[in-house]
């Protein structure tokens, strides 16, 4: 595994609902250990992009390759077993099940040493293993969702609406952890995030979607240094992206 290895590639992907494309001509590459943030206003096509990358939505044109295999509808479970995991915006949490139940559900046989190393990343969960997930705070639920995903040692991790409903202070404390796990475990990470500056500060690259098209793509540091470009991409004064 080298840090330049591409784990996920989308080329010219158009996808949507019925006959209407919600994402057009999307091209994206994700490498080992890299954090890519998808930005853009409501309805821009961020969730649709993740669904297409996981084969949960058929592509109308273009192709997606994930972990060396072509992504096709119906193969999502196989893709997940191969190590591509999507944490959906509802976090896939069952309110009546305990934290420990979620771990058991995530992995048929929970590897204790893996569980320990995941809990080292989210020590707050250690005290909460017997608590029902519905009673956890929003931040704890997001930690649980990510911890559960990490248990299976993913190679690709996508987190939709990473900070939905979380206070900025919680976001600020959680996002650096995402960058660390990407780098330390060599996981390619895609996050959908509304807190632009914090997201850019932990990302390698970012794409801004607007009305289904990628209207801006650059190194996160470059975008952080020039917030006006991101703002313009949100509000429709688009730069051309080849």
Where along the sequence are the contacts to ligand ATP (CB under 6 A)?
Answer: 17, 22, 40, 42-48
Sign of the Cα torsion 174, 179, 184, 186 reads positive
Q: Closest approach of Cβ 192 to ligand ATP, in Å?
A: 7
Of 31 and 46, the one with the shorter C-beta distance to ligand ATP is 46
Of 174 and 214, the one with the shorter C-beta distance to ligand ATP is 214
Q: Closest approach of Cβ 47 to ligand ATP, in Å?
A: 3
SS (H, E, C) 141-162: HHHHHHHHHHHCCCCEEEECCC
Q: Closest approach of Cβ 121 to ligand ATP, in Å?
A: 26
Identify any residues that bridge with 189 across adjacent strands, giving them in sequence order.
35, 157
H helix count then E strand count, the chain: 9, 10
Of 46 and 205, the one with the shorter C-beta distance to ligand ATP is 46
Query: Contact, 26 vs 12, CB < 8 A?
Result: yes
Q: Closest approach of Cβ 68 to ligand ATP, in Å?
A: 26
Of 181 and 216, the one with the shorter C-beta distance to ligand ATP is 216
Q: Closest approach of Cβ 107 to ligand ATP, in Å?
A: 28
Of 45 and 139, the one with the shorter C-beta distance to ligand ATP is 45
Query: Contact, 208 vs 216, CB < 8 A?
Result: yes
Query: Contact, 156 vs 84, CB < 8 A?
Result: yes
Of 122 and 234, the one with the shorter C-beta distance to ligand ATP is 234
Cα→Cα distances 54→127, 215, 221, 229, Å = 33, 22, 28, 29
55: left (phi over 0), alpha (psi -120 to 50) or beta: left
Q: Closest approach of Cβ 40 to ligand ATP, in Å?
A: 5
Tokens of 121: 């990343």
Question: Which helix (DSSP H) or strand (DSSP E) does residue 107 occupy?
Answer: none
């Amino acid at each position: 595994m080298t840090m330049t290895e591409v784990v996920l590639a989308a080329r010219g992907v158009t996808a949507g609902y019925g006959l209407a494309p919600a994402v057009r001509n999307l091209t994206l590459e994700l490498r080992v250990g890299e954090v890519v943030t998808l930005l853009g206003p409501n309805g821009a096509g961020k969730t649709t992009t993740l669904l297409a990358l996981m084969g949960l939505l058929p592509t109308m044109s273009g192709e997606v390759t994930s972990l060396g295999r072509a992504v096709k509808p119906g193969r999502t479970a196989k893709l997940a077993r191969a190590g591509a995991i999507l944490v959906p915006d509802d976090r896939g949490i069952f309110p009546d099940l305990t934290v420990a139940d979620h771990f058991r559900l995530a992995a048929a046989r929970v590897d204790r040493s893996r569980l320990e190393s995941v809990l080292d990343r989210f020590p707050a969960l250690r005290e909460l293993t017997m608590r029902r997930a519905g009673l956890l705070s929003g931040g704890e639920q997001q930690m649980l969702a990510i911890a559960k995903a990490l248990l299976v040692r993913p190679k690709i991790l996508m987190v939709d609406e990473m900070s939905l409903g979380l206070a900025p202070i919680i976001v600020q404390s959680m996002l650096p952890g995402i960058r660390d796990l990407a780098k330390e475990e060599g996981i390619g990470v895609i996050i959908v995030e509304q807190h632009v500056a914090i997201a850019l500060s932990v990302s390698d690259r970012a794409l801004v979607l607007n009305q289904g098209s990628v209207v801006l793509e650059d190194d996160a540091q470059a975008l952080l240094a020039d917030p006006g470009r991101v703002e313009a991409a949100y509000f429709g004064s688009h730069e051309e992206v080849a």
